[in-house]
Amino acid sequence: MLRSPASRIPTSAICKRTYATLSVQPPLRGLNSVVREKAEKLSRDWKGTSASGENTTNFIGGEFVQSKATQWIEVVDPSTQTLLTRVPETTNTEFEQAVEAASEAFKTWSQSTVLTRQRFIFELQRLIRENADSLAASIVLEQGKTVPDAHGDILRGLQVVEHAASAPSLLLSEKIEVSRDMDTEVRKVPLGVTSAIAPFNFPAMIPLWSIPMATVTGNTLILKPSERDPGAAMIIAELCQRAGLPPGVINVVHGTVPTVNAICDHPSIKAISFVGGDRAGRHIYERGTKNGKRVQSNMGAKNHAVILPDANKNLALNSVVGAAFGAAGQRCMALSVAILVGDAQAWLADLVNLAKNLKVGGGFEKDVDLGPVISPAAKDRILGLIGSAEQEGGKIHLDGRHVMVSGYEHGNFIGPTIIEANTSMKCYDQEIFGPVLVVIKANTLDEGIQIINQNRYGNGTAIFTQSGATARKFEHDVNVGQIGINVPIPVPLPMFSWSGNKASALGDLGFYGKSAIEFYTQKKTTTSLWKAEDALNSRASVHMPTHH
Ligand code: NAD
């Protein structure tokens, strides 16, 4: 793997204030001056994260603490391979400290009133808005997406924060008189210590699917961000602290499989929210539920767009190109398959022309449409899948394998790629998670629906048509959890909940919205008798209560 000189600094040298005395090059040499300035500012402004080669801390019991880990994971800028920071493989002792802090904080936080917790949410909302530029800079540096796309990442998380502010309504209890002077009340009470495990592709949004919902319902949380881009989560943790969240209510620990397994196994952790790939998702679901935890697991996808010949061509093609190649295809709701039905097959050339015009480059550069993929390993995997299509008889109409980006020669860039394929090919069967659109030709809408329903995933799908009847048939017949009609990325806003289905999700309760209230609470029913006559005189009843 190509690395800037900074990434070759020995492990022991990666700490504050030592660079001046080292003979190796200072950190961030691989970044241009504009980006370097942003990286240095991030390191200066935030306690737990660094973008200039220092270590990322854990956040335990309200303190940003340096880990005593012996194993560290490098976080590099995917546009240049420059070392930005390292995250610890949190030690067992540190993990125990985090659970202890969360358990201790739960004793008081769970007793706070919902109005106190709502005030925290209001403050957090304000602070995220105020600090969106810092969050975006961290996301662009570590994840590689463009600046506008990073702001979208933040905004979609912020919308969950804003929805969490309606907790006093969402948590309203139910109560009815079940017999004379006897009431039954159902209350939604918190679970205890909960946990969230996040993927790399939305460093702000996905932590924000859990942080506001877990805390506003009275739980405490241990967050494990992706080890590939932990910066946004650390900034959000600091914003939570500034917003008045008491120590221990949210804790951040870093690491990989050992830390995830510790979360699955710890008896004090009651629930796990996971978002990421299939392998980890199934493992965490199985291990967590076996240990008696509530687990929600959002996983991989293959999202199909069906384009009918009666569609508004301009809208359909631009929507598909944007949703296939935006964020370099690294969205779980990216449209990765386009099914061209009947005469719409003739639009393939127009699709290719639109995709060809997209600009690939560093995320901070102006007018760039897509940045790099997350790692050289991800790039190799994607290139392998494109190559497999060639071997299996697929036709590559647009080939982004050899894209060169001036000034970013070492970045993990792949240009937009369009492959005409069929459903038996590897490039169709596997989630590519890169800027690759597989095109399939179908004769009828029914054929298209059959292809989609036979696919194991069920995250999202979209249809482009001008016919209400056709759209309605599609909506009824297609077995996918999130459907767009002339909408390419139909992710529901947080007054609804995430509803991916089939192999894209495990667990009954979706993320955010009303489902999250169910996920983060348990029901407590109380039946109470306060006889009105007791206010005067009464005698004991020896009959079995029958509620008549
Ligand atoms: P990933 O599964 O590699 O990592 C996700 C998290 O799991 C990370 O925190 C990682 O440390 C941990 N992890 C990874 N491998 C593990 C293992 N073997 N055992 C235990 N823990 C493990 O996923 P990623 O590459 O970061 O993210 C991309 C994937 O996430 C794609 O498949 C994408 O579709 C999916 N995703 C799904 C949604 C959704 O809502 N359905 C949203 C975003 C991303």
Report, as an integer, the average pLDDT of 395-419: 97
**Contact predicate 54/85, CB 8 Å:** yes
What pLDDT, on a 0 to 100 scale, did the predictor assign at position 542?
83
For residue 414, pLDDT over 50 is answered with yes
What pLDDT, on a 0 to 100 scale, did the predictor assign at position 60?
98
Q: How far apart are the first and last CA of the chain?
A: 76
Least confident span in 18-22, 227-231, 307-311, 365-369: 18-22
Which tokens in the block code for residue 485? Answer: 């009609």
Atom 9, ligand 1: which residue's CA is nearest? 226
Atom 13, ligand 1: which residue's CA is nearest? 280
Task: Using pLDDT thresholds of 50, 70 and 90, give the confidence band for residue 545.
Answer: confident
Q: pTM for the complete prediction?
A: 0.93
Helices and strands, number each (H, E), in the chain: 17, 22
**Contact predicate 69/93, CB 8 Å:** no
Distances (CA, A) of 368 to 95, 359, 362, 437, 489: 40, 5, 7, 19, 20
Q: What is the pLDDT of residues 42-59, one digit of tens each?
A: 999 999 999 999 999 999
Q: What is the pLDDT of residues 482-499, one digit of tens each?
A: 999 999 999 999 999 999
In the set 15, 240, 264, 332, the catalytic residue is 332
Task: Using pLDDT thresholds of 50, 70 and 90, give the confidence band for residue 547.
Answer: low
The DSSP element (H or E) to which 109 belongs, if any, is helix 92-109
Note the maximum CA span of the chain.
91
Ligand 1 center–CA 490 separation, angstroms:
21
What pLDDT, on a 0 to 100 scale, did the predictor assign at position 544?
82
Ligand 1 center–CA 205 separation, angstroms:
14
Ligand 1 atom nearest 202 alpha carbon: 43
Distances (CA, A) of 520 to 167, 216, 226, 238, 243: 12, 9, 22, 23, 21
For residue 8, pLDDT over 60 is answered with no
What pLDDT, on a 0 to 100 scale, did the predictor assign at position 28?
78
Atom 22, ligand 1: which residue's CA is nearest? 280
User: Ligand 1: residues within 6 Å at CB?
Assistant: 197-202, 224, 226-227, 256-257, 260, 275-277, 279-280, 283, 298-301, 332, 431, 433, 459, 500, 504
Ligand 1 atom nearest 504 alpha carbon: 41
Q: Considering Cα of 391, then 397, then 400, then 406, what sign does the dihedral take? A: positive
Q: What is the pLDDT of residues 340-396, one digit of tens each?
A: 999 999 999 999 999 999 999 999 999 999 999 999 999 999 999 999 999 999 999
Q: Please state whether beta strands 521-529 and 182-190 pair in parallel, antiparallel, or not at all (unpaired).
A: antiparallel
What is the pLDDT of the chain when averaged over all its residues? 94
What pLDDT, on a 0 to 100 scale, did the predictor assign at position 534?
80
What pLDDT, on a 0 to 100 scale, did the predictor assign at position 537?
62
DSSP string, 395-464: EEEE--TT---TT-TTS-----EEEE--TTSHHHHS---SSEEEEEEESSHHHHHHHHHHSSEESEEEEE
Q: What share of the chain in percent tops pLDDT 90?
A: 91
Least confident span in 1-5, 390-394, 441-445, 520-524: 1-5
What pLDDT, on a 0 to 100 scale, did the predictor assign at position 2?
33
Report, as an integer, the average pLDDT of 141-165: 98
For residue 513, pLDDT over 70 is answered with yes
What pLDDT, on a 0 to 100 scale, did the predictor assign at position 546?
73
What pLDDT, on a 0 to 100 scale, did the predictor assign at position 21?
35
Atom 11, ligand 1: which residue's CA is nearest? 256
Q: What is the pLDDT of residues 294-333, one digit of tens each?
A: 999 999 999 999 999 999 999 999 999 999 999 999 999 9
Q: What share of the chain in percent tops pLDDT 70?
A: 94
Phi/psi of residue 276, nearest 5 degrees:
165, -150
Task: Using pLDDT thresholds of 50, 70 and 90, give the confidence band for residue 26.
Answer: low
Q: Is 427 a catalytic residue?
A: no
Least confident span in 16-25, 97-106, 282-291, 366-375: 16-25
**Distance from C-alpha of 451 to C-alpha of 428, rounded to nearest angstrom:** 11
Task: Using pLDDT thresholds of 50, 70 and 90, give the confidence band for residue 7.
Answer: very low
